[in-house]
Amino acid sequence: MKTRIVALLLLALIAPAFAGAEDDAESYFNKGLEHLVRQGYMGDTSAAQRYLSAALEKDPKHVEALWLLLVTRMPSKNAPLVERASALAALGPAFAQLFKLCKETKQQALLHYYTARYADHYHTFERAQSEIDKALALEPQSTRFLLTKGKLLVDQGSWIKDDKLIEAGVQTIKKSQEWSITRPNRLVSPSHYDFEIALGLSHLSAPRWKEVVTHYRRSIELNETPKSTAFAWNNVSRAYRELGQCDKAKEAAENALKEMKFGAAQNNKRYAEFCIDMQREGFTTSGQRTN
């Protein structure tokens, strides 16, 4: 009974489910997942939320539907920790219900996985690593879990400025990418691996910008979502500027803006134009004259 109450509470907070529809829970879940993947889990996820809400109406114990619904409500990891903590606290009862559902349905590996993701948002990295290791112990062939372990290592290394952790995370993500060739996971887009590898490499104290460009561009080739493509092009622009390739930096920023208008890409275009002007005046990207 409590399960249904919490699920219905989530539905009321987010959006009304489809009334009188004939699809079953799994059909609604698949449609919601399709919308999320198409959106790159970013931007307007209202359509996905409605489908996931409908899935929970049909089956209040559909843990993956509840998880993805919570994912759409979770704060951005780019937001300050204080803001994230407040937003996560508001979702606390729903997360408690999710964890309870995992236990009731005996999905222990998912329980550890969800807990790891939840802990990561609070920057409690030791707990997050412990939980994802438990998930992998139960399902050692899970591409999804291994990818998450790599991302957690990158997150922790970036937070405490530890290159060894970042490198370990990048290598783990690469391993999960290799696994995905024979063991793809429908909840993970093929382009996501290269995006995360590039992001990790860019967080090193001495980023390997050529590799960053290579992986972001590979991500773009595989990507079919405008928003994810825009963010990748925007990050490529910065990498090209760091390499002193200002013309390519400007082109990349313009490509980002073709996909989506947003402030970071506009700023990167201006930085690239300034970089081009500096080079024309005989300065390097460090601001020193070349002659």
Contact between 169 and 200 (Cβ < 8 Å): yes
Sign of the dihedral through C-alpha 10, 12, 14, 15:
positive
Rounded to an integer, the average pLDDT of 241-265 is: 95
The pLDDT value recorded for residue 289 is: 45
Domain ranges, ordered by start, for the chain: 1-81+90-98
Please list, in sequence order, all residues whose beta carbon lies within 8 angstroms of the beta carbon of residue 253, skipping any fewer than 6 positions away: 233, 234, 237, 265, 266, 268, 269, 272
The tens digit of pLDDT for each residue in 14-36 reads 444 454 446 799 999 999 998 88
What percent of the chain shows pLDDT beyond 90? 70
Q: How far is Cα 71 from Cα 78, in angstroms, rounded to an integer?
A: 15
The pLDDT value recorded for residue 19 is: 45
Q: State the residue for tokens 């773009």.
A: 220
The pLDDT value recorded for residue 285 is: 57
Q: Is the pLDDT of residue 96 over 90?
A: yes
Q: Is the pLDDT of residue 95 over 70?
A: yes
State in Å, rounded, how far the first CA of the chain is from the last one.
Answer: 77
Q: How far is Cα 212 from Cα 25, in angstroms, rounded to an integer?
A: 40
Q: What is the pTM of this model?
A: 0.86
Q: How far is Cα 226 from Cα 215, in angstroms, rounded to an integer?
A: 17
